Structure 1
Amino acid sequence: MNCRPHALVALVLAAYLALLPNTGTGAPRKAKSATTSATSTAAADFDRAAAEYRQGIQDLADGDEEARTQVDASLAQIKQVLERCGQEHGCDLGALMSRYTELLRFSAASAAGDEVVGEDEENQGEGVSRAFNPNVVGNGSQRSAAELLSERRAKFTEMVQFNPAIQAGIRKWLTDMRPALMNSYENYQYIRQYVAPAAEQHGLPEALMFGIMAKESNGKVHVSSRAGAAGPFQFMPATGRRFGLGNDGTGFDTRFDPRASSQAAAEYLAERMGELNRSIELALAAYNGGEGRALRVYKASSGANFWNQSVYDQFPAETKDYVPMVIAAAWIYLHPREYGVYFPRVSARPTTFRIDRPTSLYELTICLGNRGSRDGYFRALRNLNPRWEADSTIPAGSVLNGTTRIASLYRNYCRSGERAQLTQQLMKSQVRNAIVRVGNFKTVETGGVAVATDAGTSVSTPPAPTTYRVQTGETLNSVSRKFGCSVPQLARANALSTTSPLRVGQTLDITVCKDR
């Protein structure tokens, strides 16, 4: 991508030279108020054009080639502002130079694909996440997240800085759990468009919601636990139903929906905060260890702090670990640079795109590639389109949720061309087509794939199994993925609901699955 910082240099130099004849000794002096007014007007016009330029550059980075028109138009506006300032008595072009310098720095960093951090941002105090965040919810969400329940902010800060349990949690996130932290952050950026507004609506810090999600699911929308909890915020079936989550009548469990589960999680946490004296620790203990237990302990202890031994000892070991780990993740989210943490730059500006032919999320993952993302876009597609199983066939004409970059990559690589053809070939490939008997071989076409087989014979494949015995830790969701059918299909074939837990050794009818 050519961000053309040299064009900005030429513009500024030309305008600056145009100003020189008006600054000689014979030039009349304007009143200070007139000078200030002229400079302020020019600065305001420059800032508006620069904001459009920055947005255009970010859109280009996201893969939106149509943004070049916006970049060109904003550059023309900047030129006009500089030329006008150079020709107007009393307009101080030097006052625009700092703005120009920052814009030029932004252009160079964007062209190199680097993180753009202003000098003032580097020097900000606590509470502002300085990692790059795409224009999903807005910078205000980052600042509001830092408030951490306003009047309790100072107490929260002191608690984090001097609490050994939370310090130990920070250590865990920064050592063996650092990959999980990074994955959680990257996954979170795609669903932040749902989480941040829910947090703001219920007066909660966004950072706390991130911490819960990081600990519960690492931002993977389709996670299920052996105990039956499901979704990015791991709601149990009964608790989920209280907050509007569960089977929506189509066989889909809305606990897996990031928008619905974010709203439910924020509402649930706000409810716990309300009955536990706004205690972050006790609210988190309730989230993990049971609201009934947390409320009983709180009342019996006359409102004692979670870290009071008489309170702390009444919670299970899992909860004792959970509370400081969530707070630690929230703290790192707000203060990454203090710990040398540079979160990955994620292009997560949301949009939708329509598919031209039948496909699957697996197929899209291959043809999209991984430009702009270390691990590709499988997790983003899954998180943003939770109703589609990874290998389910999505009909042509369907509209999928994605990002501007995903939509651009789809247009460029998935509709047609060499990569699209290679992807289709990979999707048609089956292991069983590689198995042949020894003999005289000839090549036959099987489903569009060349297969070696005995001369005069046909490919022999073993009969597909009709049943499957459930293994440890498996769910309807994992079994359906294994054998290539949807959860509703598998559930109906076995007279189960889509949320039914499975028993180890249970026999399932898998005749409805295509990969059995």
Structure 2
Amino acid sequence: MTLQGHYDDPRIAKQVAWFSNNQTYIDRVMGRGELYLYHIIAELERNELPLELTLLPVVESAYDPFAYSRSHASGLWQFIPMTGDRFGLKQDWWYDGRRDPLAATEAAISYLKYLNNYFEGDWLLALAAYNSGEGTVRRAIERNEREGKPTDFWSLQLPRETRAYIPQLLAISRVIADPESHGIVLPSIPDSPYFDIVDLPEQLDLVKAAELASIDSSTLHKLNAGYSRWVTHPEGPHRIVLPIENIAGFKVALDNTPVALWAPIKEYQVRSGDTLSKIAAEHRVNIGQLRIQNDLQGDLLKIGQRLKIPGTGLDHHPETASLLSYRVQTGDTLWQIARQHDVSIQDIATWSQLDINTPLRPGQLLNVKKGSSRVTGATVTEKKINYQVRRGDSLYRIASKFDLKIEDILSWNKLNPKSYLKPGQQLTLFVNPLRI
């Protein structure tokens, strides 16, 4: 711990009192963090960074790798897409490195080291910039310099969220540093690695991986939260993260499992009237990956041609195992089809490899599912966010953007479907970060 000189600052007293009186919150957050704490501490020590940064995900995400914010930040360390790109976090249809606990931790350390150097070793300014951006903090410093005011963190005019952000981190650090004096009991977490990386030569379905490793799929998903399709990335690198105690058994089971069963590659014979997009939609795969798997330079197919269909993991996923095909009729809209089958627009787009901005064609095949597990309200994987209506927004546009049903938005916000949205209006949304 290297920020202890700020622990007694009176401006963190309110947050210290809150953490000191919320043992259940500490239990819940540390229970989540137990999977990742050893790894994060080891990486911070290796980079000679303050160990208070171990607790930054408490403030950012409460150690939830699936956390998603109204500013589109995702993962333990809450990277927005642009900053994720900047620090090397791959983001595509198969994988989002912002949710990958290992990749995101590496990126967060790189970003924090950069910010600390940018602000000449002042960690409070660096952390403020992690929250609101270095430009925001730099402009606040320049404003104080022009006015002849101090330029330390406590003297700057920063966004309200940032002014609360640093005291929250200092407060939880102070409580964790001396739990007994704050009436808090910390869990006993072994001072040894919990997980390790297992390299694979081929694509592997995550549900199959959980079965071979003899662990529940929920734990495996938390350790491999970056994978969006319940399968490793078809282009590699192929790897999964497993609890160390399960790795030996997993490797034995994997060696005794035919590669064809790791992520089954189906074979399909092209028929009259088939198109590459139609075949991709029917089998719920990405057109680009279908081209790669079959060494196709374009979309031209021959009747009788055999295509390899890469596995996507969706066949085993509890939310996508019972997909059905629906043929688009004249006059159909995506919203009507989604409502008819009790799913969201983005569900259909994901299952059918569909661009929601492309008009539907009569005869087009879509993947749908009766009796969706989605319910009106927040589920285990959904996150509550506050959304501020922007100029040009409509219910349809917001529903499409966040993978929601219009009637849900109306219900959550007690809105009249005939009323207009106004710029600046606040809406409550429950979003699933895996589907955005």
In the superposition, the TM-score normalised over structure 2's length comes to 0.52
Residue 227 (structure 1) shift: 1.6
Residue 213 (structure 1) shift: 0.7
* 2:108 alignment counterpart: 265
C-alpha spacing 1:343/1:166, structure 2 compared with 1 (3 Å):
farther
C-alpha spacing 1:400/1:506, structure 2 compared with 1 (3 Å):
closer
1:222 and 2:66 equivalent? yes
| Residue pair 2:39, 2:193 contacting (<8 A) in 1 also | no
C-alpha spacing 1:305/1:289, structure 2 compared with 1 (3 Å):
same
* 1:166 alignment counterpart: 12
- Give the secondary structure class of the aligned counterpart of 1:304: coil
Residue 235 (structure 1) shift: 1.0
Asked which structure has the greater CA Rg, the reply is 1
| Residue pair 1:221, 1:383 contacting (<8 A) in 2 also | yes
Cα displacement string for residues 210-251 of structure 1 (whole angstroms, at most 9, x for unaligned residues): 22111111122222222211121111111222211242x664
Q: How does 1:64-143 map to 2 (within 5 A)?
A: none
Aligned length: 283
* RMSD of aligned residue pairs (Cα, Å): 4.8
What residue ranges of structure 1 are gaps of 5+ in the alignment? Answer: 1-145, 149-155, 370-376, 412-426, 434-464, 511-516
Give the Cα–Cα distance (whole angstroms) in 2 for the partners of residues 268 and 187 of structure 1.
23
Residue 393 (structure 1) shift: 10
- Give the secondary structure class of the aligned counterpart of 1:386: coil
1:187 and 2:70 equivalent? no
Cα displacement string for residues 361-411 of structure 1 (whole angstroms, at most 9, x for unaligned residues): 897699747xxxxxxx83x4223212445866999xx96422134558989
- The structure in which a higher percent of residues are helix is 1
Residue 170 (structure 1) shift: 2.0
| Residue pair 1:169, 1:324 contacting (<8 A) in 2 also | yes
* 1:440 alignment counterpart: none
Give the Cα–Cα distance (whole angstroms) in 1 for the partners of residues 187 and 84 of structure 2.
31
* 1:14 alignment counterpart: none
| Residue pair 1:216, 1:232 contacting (<8 A) in 2 also | yes
Give the Cα–Cα distance (whole angstroms) in 1 for the partners of residues 18 and 85 of structure 2.
34
* 1:335 alignment counterpart: 178
Q: How does 1:99-498 map to 2 (within 5 A)?
A: 146=1, 148=2, 156-160=3-7, 162-176=8-22, 178-192=23-37, 194-205=39-50, 207-247=51-91, 251-302=94-145, 304-308=151-155, 311=156, 314-339=157-182, 340-345=184-189, 348-351=193-196, 360=207, 368=215, 378=218, 380-389=219-228, 400-407=240-247, 466-467=337-338, 489-490=350-351, 492-494=353-355
Give the Cα–Cα distance (whole angstroms) in 1 for the partners of residues 344 and 77 of structure 2.
18
C-alpha spacing 1:250/1:336, structure 2 compared with 1 (3 Å):
same
- Give the secondary structure class of the aligned counterpart of 1:183: helix
- Give the secondary structure class of the aligned counterpart of 1:170: helix
Cα displacement string for residues 121-167 of structure 1 (whole angstroms, at most 9, x for unaligned residues): xxxxxxxxxxxxxxxxxxxxxxxxx2x1xxxxxxx43421x212323
C-alpha spacing 1:343/1:320, structure 2 compared with 1 (3 Å):
same
- Give the secondary structure class of the aligned counterpart of 2:63: coil
Give the Cα–Cα distance (whole angstroms) in 1 for the partners of residues 233 and 96 of structure 2.
19
- Percent of aligned positions with the same letter in both sequences? 21
- Give the secondary structure class of the aligned counterpart of 1:255: coil
Cα displacement string for residues 291-344 of structure 1 (whole angstroms, at most 9, x for unaligned residues): 111112223334522223xx1xx1122112111111222333333344332224
| Residue pair 1:272, 1:291 contacting (<8 A) in 2 also | yes
* 2:332 alignment counterpart: none
Give the Cα–Cα distance (whole angstroms) in 2 for the partners of residues 296 and 383 of structure 1.
38
Give the Cα–Cα distance (whole angstroms) in 1 for the partners of residues 225 and 84 of structure 2.
17
Cα displacement string for residues 86-115 of structure 1 (whole angstroms, at most 9, x for unaligned residues): xxxxxxxxxxxxxxxxxxxxxxxxxxxxxx
Give the Cα–Cα distance (whole angstroms) in 2 for the partners of residues 365 and 345 of structure 1.
26
What residue ranges of structure 2 are gaps of 5+ in the alignment? Answer: 252-315, 323-335, 358-386, 388-395, 406-436
| Residue pair 1:181, 1:218 contacting (<8 A) in 2 also | no
